[in-house]
Amino acid sequence: MQDTVEKPESFATTSLLISNFLTLIVALILKWQLVLVIWPYWTQSVIIGWYARKRMLALKKLSTEGFTSNDEPVPANEKGKRSTTSFFVIHYGFFHFGYLVFY
């Protein structure tokens, strides 16, 4: 007998997609201004990035096969994990800062 219980991540992803789709439908029907739709998505994306960072730092085993930084292999240790997470945070942060400023 197979286990049919969904993983929490799968449920969270499905719920997120459904809620975002329904929000867009309501926004189109009610003719919301774009700013009313953009801000919740921007905030949601920042929150997702925060938890992605936490998950990266919580990894027990980091696979860096084929992953390089400045043409050097990234070590599969704590230092490699921290540098990779920092790289993510900086780039994700700049994207969201630009998104915030230019909207």
70 to each of 23, 57, 65, 83, how far by Cα in Å? 41, 21, 15, 12
Domains: count for the chain = 1
Q: Report pLDDT for 7.
A: 63
Q: Give domain status of residue 17, yes or no.
A: no
pLDDT tens profile 13-49: 898 899 889 989 999 999 999 888 888 888 888 999 9
Q: Give domain status of residue 77, yes or no.
A: yes
Q: Give domain status of residue 5, yes or no.
A: no
Q: Give domain status of residue 72, yes or no.
A: yes
Q: Give domain status of residue 66, yes or no.
A: yes
Domain that holds residue 54: 33-102
pLDDT tens profile 71-99: 888 888 899 899 889 999 999 999 999 98
pTM for this predicted structure: 0.69
Q: Report pLDDT for 11.
A: 84
Q: Give domain status of residue 58, yes or no.
A: yes
Q: Give domain status of residue 50, yes or no.
A: yes
